[in-house]
Every structure is written in structure tokens, then in C-alpha cells.
Amino acid sequence: MMNQTMTAKADVFSCEEKARERHPSTPVLLVGLVGDTLIVFLALAFSSWLRFATPLARLGVGADSIHWTEYMGKVIFGVLLFILLLPHRQLYDLHLILNLRRTIPVIIRTAFSWFLTFMALSWLLRYGREISRIYVAIAFVVTTAMFVLWRLLLCRIVSSESIVQRLRQRILFVGWSEPAESIAGAINADSRHLYEIVGHVPAGRRAGGERPGDAIPKLGARAGMADILREHGIDMVILADLNPSTDETVALANLCEKEMVEFKVIPSNCFEIFLSCLHLQTVSGVPVLGVAYFPLDLPFNVLLKRALDLAGGVVGLLLSAPLIAAFGLFVYWESPGPIIYRQRRLGHYGRPFWIYKIRSMKMDAEHGGKVGWTVKNDPRRLRIGGFMRRWNIDELPQFWNVIKGEMSLVGPRPERPELIKVFKEEIPHYNARHNIKPGITGWAQVNGFRGDTDLNGRISCDLYYIENWSLLLDFQIMFMTIFRHRNAC
């Protein structure tokens, strides 16, 4: 009896020790929280000094009579509010801390939420004299800038090999599949990944199935899983068998729970698309897993994107009108006929519309009904057409499509109905790109997938854009469209 008690105590102690070892991220997150708090305080205090101790104090009635230290109460309130908003944006997720490109738009959205909430609460609570709106606007800009710089520094520190090595989780694959190979490839290609692949164990029912290469060693059989988990200090088990039996999956999940190991399942083929948008919902109280929504399914995001499209469409059309006229004359000089060419395309939800371009081909280029993309050194193309297509000048009339609401500034490029009939049957997930409006430019185009290029790569980029849309991503794509040199046909 005493031996059993001592064994039980030893197991408890080993579990506690294991729990401590498996949470090395706590000090990093604590440093992040303390640093975030200090940076926000300094930013809000500095904003108060800028507003009331510099020439900006001359703006507004009575602002010059306020000493900047009088805003310390509002500064502390603002710090508490900002820090409370951060966890809801997953800014204390280690993967987000190490990915600054994903972190920046989250910081901007958090600062904007703080701006609106701070103004609203200050007005509702009415503590002290009325809050300076100029101060809040300055605080929004300063806090965002300082927070981004601080997180850049934190990212550099955490990305050091000595720290990343301690933060990595040790992974064991059970079974093997193409998605598992993709995961392993991504982990091995990124030195800052917070994972380390220890090995694999064959699937119980299909031990002779697909297997990884020699780089991922076999650690044993399924029958010895408990010992493997303990001996190799496994932190995460990934079930890579795409067609596991229910009994085996439940048994493996229960074992991982007992050993305090994370258990993950690679989704089967029916969930290969839009994985980041999968959510557990209930239908009449029954849990179901499915695609819940995309960023552009939210009305507020739709309004933001439409506002950007309207402003950009009007400005773009006004600025490009002289270019359209000049290149239209060049086109007419080389090939008399209509300057503006319109073509049937499919847009949002597969609705057809007419897209407008400056004609870059000879008249009757598709004589005989042959439909297809232009290719390199296409004999049908005008001499001026090659230059226009290289610099996207032929696309300028599409600002009118944007103003009409048929297109967006940024989105998947629209295709012709004749081509889509073929593509939707041959290319997996092709029609999913019609969930949003097509664009003048897109993530696929700025990554080199333009014209007669790999369709699978193009669709992959389009789906990434649909799942990860943000205004910042739209601005990034527009910037890349203007300044990135591309060899388009």
C-alpha cells in the first residue's frame, strides 16, 4: 500500500515537473505584458505632453490652460483599457509575436478599437473636464507607432535561437499523409517555428501505408505509445491518418489527456479548404463543424472595403484619364477601331458583368470563337499592347467597374465564363474565389501568377486572400502592384 502511495506521489511530482517544462513561454508572455503596459503608458503620457506642452496647445479652446500632468488619471484609465483589449486580439499568442506581418494589422485594429471605446467611455463617465479629442487622436497615432516598434524589438529578441529552442514543442506524428508532409516541410523550412519533429509512429490499422522519409525516424509501434510519449518528452501528438477509426482516435485522445500531451487531428479531405474559417457551431443543439464566416462576410468589413473602393475608384479614374486618352490614341494609330474593349466576366457569386480595358490586341483577335489567355510574344498583340500589359495600363478603365460596384480595387482576377466552365471541373476549389468581388489586382498577381501561369498556385493565393483579408493587406497589395517589377506577358 505504501509503495502504491509513493508511486502515486512520484507520478504527481513528475506531472507537475512536466507541466513546468512544457510552459516555458510564460516568462516571454510576462515580459510581453509588462513591456506592453509600459509602452502604452509612455505613449499616452507622451501624447499628453505633445498636446498640452507644445505649440499644439494653441489648438482648441482652453487647451493652453491645461498642464499635461493633469491628464495622468486619463492616461492610467487609457492604459488599463488598452491592456484589457490585447488578450481578445490574441496578441499574447507566441506564434503571433514571432510573425510581425500578422501582428501589425492586429495592433492597428486594437488601437482603433481603443480609440472608439476610450472616446465613448470618457463621454459616458464624464470624469473631470471633457476629454480632448485632439489628444485622443494623437494618442492613437503615437501609441500605434510605439507599440509596433516595441513588438518589433520583442520579435527580434524572442526570435533568437537560444530562446526559440526552449519554446519549441516536440511533435510526434501518428500515421502519415500528404498534409503531414506539408507540415513537416513548413517546420523544417522556418527556423523560427515553435515546433520540433521528434519522429512518427505508424497508424495502427495501416502500418504498411504511406511513410515519411529517413529524416523523420520511426519511434516504435502504436502499442507502445505511452512509453514513447514519456521517453521522448512529447508535447504534441498529431494524428495524420486521414481515415482513422473512431475507436483508435478516442483511445489516442484519452492517452494524450492522461499524459498531458496536446492532441491534434489533421482534417480529412472534406475540410482541406478554408481551414482557418472552420468553427464549431450547433444546429438545433447538435454540434457541427463547418465554415462559419470569412472576414468579408462581416458587414462592417464590407462597408470599409466598399468605402476604400469608391474613394480609390474615383481618384484612380480621375488620375488615369489622361493616360487612358494618350494610350487610346496610340492604340488607334496602330490599329484603327474601338479604343475601349469590353469582355464578359464572372464576378461576385458568379454574376456576369462587362469588364473594360484599353484594347491591347488587333481587331478580331478572337475571330473564330477561340477563347484563351494571351501568351508570351502573342502575335495578336499590338506593339503598344505589350508595354501596356507590362505596366497594367490596359486595366485602368476598370476603375469604372470599381465605381459601379462590379469589382474591387483588390481581389481575385475575374475570368471569362467559357474558361470557368472548364476550370471549375479541373481545379479544386476554383469557384470558391467567387465568394468576394473580383479585383483590378490581387495577391496572386503580385506573387507572379498572372496570365498563362500555374492555376493551382493562383487559386491558392486567392483563397489565402479570402481567408486573411484586411485593409492593411489591400494596401500592401496595391503598393506591390505599383512598385514591384513583374515580367507579365
Secondary structure (H, E, C), 59-91: CCCCHHHCCHHHHHHHHHHHHHHHHHHCHHHCC
Contacts of residue 168, Cβ cutoff 8 Å, sequence gap at least 6? 193, 194, 195, 196
In this predicted structure, the answer to whether residue 370 has a pLDDT above a threshold of 60 is no
Please give the grid coordinates belonging to residue 248.
Answer: 483508435
User: How buried is 356 (Cβ within 10 angstroms: 0-12 exposed, 13-18 middle, 19+ buried)?
Assistant: buried
- Phi, psi (rounded to 5 degrees) for 185: -65, -40
Q: Which range (212-216, 318-322, 459-463) has the least confidence?
A: 212-216
Q: What is the mean pLDDT of residues 358-384?
A: 70
Helix, strand, coil abundance in the chain, percent, nearest 5:
60, 10, 30
For residue 184, the model assigns a pLDDT of 84
- pLDDT tens by residue, 237-279: 888 876 777 788 888 888 887 778 888 887 665 555 555 566 6
Give the residue, 138 or 166, on which the prediction is more confident: 138
In this predicted structure, the answer to whether residue 205 has a pLDDT above a threshold of 60 is no
> By the 8 A CB rule, do 357 and 328 touch?
no
Give the residue, 351 or 294, on which the prediction is more confident: 351
Mean of the per-residue pLDDT values for the chain?
79
- Closest-CA residue to 484 (of 441, 457, 446, 442): 446
C-alpha distances (whole Å) from 87 to each of 1, 31, 117, 419 are 47, 14, 16, 46
State the pairing for strand pair 262-265/195-201.
unpaired
Give the residue, 240 or 402, on which the prediction is more confident: 402
CATH class of 168-266: alpha beta
> By the 8 A CB rule, do 144 and 108 touch?
yes
> By the 8 A CB rule, do 49 and 68 touch?
yes
Q: What is the mean pLDDT of residues 356-363?
A: 87
For residue 291, the model assigns a pLDDT of 62
In this predicted structure, the answer to whether residue 47 has a pLDDT above a threshold of 80 is yes
pTM as predicted:
0.56
Other C-beta atoms closer than 10 Å to the C-beta of 40 total 25
Contacts of residue 108, Cβ cutoff 8 Å, sequence gap at least 6? 144, 472
Other C-beta atoms closer than 10 Å to the C-beta of 311 total 11
C-alpha distances (whole Å) from 331 to each of 3, 229, 341 are 93, 70, 11
DSSP 228-270: HHHHTT--EEEE--SS--HHHHHHHHHHHHHTT-EEEE---GG
Strands (DSSP E) found in 323-445? 340-346, 352-358, 408-410, 439-441
> By the 8 A CB rule, do 59 and 91 touch?
no
Q: What is the mean pLDDT of residues 171-179?
A: 84
In this predicted structure, the answer to whether residue 375 has a pLDDT above a threshold of 60 is no
For residue 383, the model assigns a pLDDT of 85
For residue 396, the model assigns a pLDDT of 93
* Residue carrying the nine cell digits 519549441: 168
Domain with CATH 3.40.50.720 in the chain: 168-266
C-alpha 397/C-alpha 416 separation (Å) is 18
- pLDDT tens by residue, 155-170: 888 877 777 777 788 8
In this predicted structure, the answer to whether residue 128 has a pLDDT above a threshold of 60 is no
- Phi, psi (rounded to 5 degrees) for 177: -160, 175
Identify the DSSP state of 361: B
Strand partners, 340: 358
- pLDDT tens by residue, 431-460: 778 888 999 999 998 888 876 667 778 888
Q: Give the pLDDT band of residue 372 (cuts 50, 70, 90).
A: low
Q: Which range (8-22, 140-154, 207-221, 354-368) has the least confidence?
A: 8-22
End-to-end CA distance of the chain: 81
Other C-beta atoms closer than 10 Å to the C-beta of 195 total 20
